[in-house]
Structure 1
Amino acid sequence: IDIMPAEITGWADVVLPECSYLERYDDLRILPGRVPSIALRAPAFEPRFNSKPAWWMAKELGHRLGLDAYFPWNNFEEYLDGRLQKIGSSLEEMKKKGVLVLEDQKHPLFFEDGAEPTFDTPSGKIELASSTLASYGFDSVPKYTPHEEPPEGYYRLIYGRAPTHTFGRTTNNPILAETMLENEVWLNPTVAKLNGIRNGEYVVLVNQDGARSNKIKAKVTERIRHDCVYMVHGFGHTDKRMRRTYLRGADDTALITRVKVDPIMGGTGMRGNFVTFEHVV
């Protein structure tokens, strides 16, 4: 299921085209906070072409699998109205208000007035030294571990997003492609001079394991440190059906061949990869 063509959908045998958030109802957005509220996302116009909302796909697939009992409503409006009726509201009211603030359900942000504060720790107190970590064999106060430094002639690969695009999903969009057709690799002027790279010149990035990128335009700027390079995620597609973005810029994920895993909480770090430059002949 996807809203727009993407490289990953090219691997699927069947693609179900979903309509965009502007063309469908979504489930209620419930915000707890000190003053709880409920927000409605309603369609601005009808879905185009043969696209459908995901709820419709799930209900139709459920029907064909004999799972109608799990979808005891005719459409999503009926489902939303049923939820809202339980709190004394309705879909009709939410269409007019958009956001329903539940003033009668205010509650303290942290603790009730006069209540003894307790915390979800073995001691019931704030623990600067964690007895839970210690019980699992870790340092009760985590010690700083210096991160790996790049080898000689290599630079840490940093990636991120641009306000123009949503990950790699929108790079083939004709209107958005006009504003940003390809990504660039940012490098510090000192690094550019050291490697003989001019602003606007195309280079190839090669990581510490020999993974190579497509050619990417260099952006020489003081806005990046001398020990790393930066590029926007979502470019460098290799599927020819992505006509506007085919081989435009470089794919950062292809250069991420090493992933660090935090031994305590399992989080992953992918900025432990390093790249060097090759000139495009």
Structure 2
Amino acid sequence: MRIDLHTHSRASDGTQSPTELVHAAVRAGLDVLALTDHDSAEGWAEAAAAADATGLRLVRGMEISTRHEGQGVHLLAYLPDATYPPLAAELERILEGRRSRVPGMLEALRGAGIDLSEADVARVSGHSAASGRPHVADALVAAGVVGDRTEAFDRYLSPGRPGYVDRYAAPLRETIRLVGEAGGVSVVAHAWGRRRDERPDAQAFAELAGLGLAGIEVDHQDHAPAARERLRAIARELDLVVTGSSDHHGEGKVDHDLGCHTTAPEELERLLDLAAAAAAASGRAVPEVV
């Protein structure tokens, strides 16, 4: 069984519709797919219909932008009730931060001699609910300023670059609690993939596990082999679920092909058991795995 628990559609910053993503997953030989768009459940219904038609097993999820000890941390939330009012309000606050960030980035880029408009960004984003840096990157590609998203981030949109603008991210500890109250479970995504220091460290993961964190995304393209082994050891020590996934964005992210990293079936079952327990404890009407 091949399981990919971290993918994105055009509902956030992927380049495929939820239906196209499901069909691509089937062609890639996947048996289970999680749709985890940024801060949004907008693609769930379409993906579920496509999965039902193809026989693919779908896990509904999202990737929530959070901050911990001054650093950004992406939190994968699986099977929460996205209509739970406190969670829905926090997601809307994050999305508003994404949307309001775009004009600031465009102004900063103009200061660097690059003239893009919000209409240019809208043409490549498809008016995504989670518009932001990747779509500005796509507009830079469409304008011929850079060759791909990676170059756009490296030259213009990463911290310290001329087009970078900070935005709101939810407190990590509070978000883990909210996901649990909404009947879902949470996994820290690509924990050490975008920074040189290894944070959150083992002590921080122990604290987060005590707050309800269910797992760590260990096998990810942005983790070097040595980092994966250290993260796997931390997860085992804390009895956390170990996941692996592609972080697929269609054509929007190179070298993240569907199924390039997968989750072991027994780890998925552990995750689903924890989700079932969270759902029972919350009393929320949480989405089923289809």
TM range (shorter): under 0.3
Answer with 1 or 2: which has the greater Rg: 1
Could you tell me the TM-score, scaled by structure 1's length? 0.23
Could you tell me the TM-score, scaled by structure 2's length? 0.22
Higher helix share: 2
